[in-house]
Structure 1
Amino acid sequence: MSYRWRYEDESGAPVDGPEMAFDDQDEAEEWFSATWPDLLADGVRQVVLLDGDTEVYGPMSLDPPAQ
């Protein structure tokens, strides 16, 4: 299988994002760590990590915590 991110708005509806595939979870997470501010600026509010069609975890919010 390959890992990829599913991009969503705050209600969980799909939004467009980069179509990337990764060989392992570490590679996917490293890419995300470097890219999440750009995704947030482009309207992505949460992500789900997938291994093939299986959800690994998420949704994970990109918005900063409320203070």
Structure 2
Amino acid sequence: MIRPRWEWALETDEGVRLDASLSPVFTTQFDAEQWLGEHWRSLRAAGAAQARLLGEGQQVTPTIVFRAP
């Protein structure tokens, strides 16, 4: 059985994709979304300004923009 693959495409303000190793690969959308909710601040500090959730390489949610509170 092939498991689904979910991962975050993290990008700068200019839309440049950051190193893919910043996001683990997940087997569920829920796990991917939970991870982003826990780590978005440190990702923002590392230069990420937005994130796109990819399911099997296709964007499956609207782009999420990180805004500092």
- 1:28 equivalent in alignment to 2:29: no
TM-score (norm 1): 0.85
Which amino acid in the other structure matches residue 48 of structure 1? R
Shift of 1:19: 3.7
Which amino acid in the other structure matches residue 4 of structure 1? E
Larger strand fraction of residues = 1
Match of residue 13 from structure 1: 16
- Long gaps (5+) in structure 1: none
Shift of 1:9: 0.7
| Deviating 4+ runs (over 6 angstroms) | none
- 1:53 equivalent in alignment to 2:57: yes
Cα root mean square deviation, aligned = 1.5
TM-score (norm 2): 0.83
Query: How many correspondences in the alignment?
Result: 65
Partners of 1:37 and 1:44 lie apart in 2 by 9
Residue 37 of structure 1: SS of its match in structure 2? helix
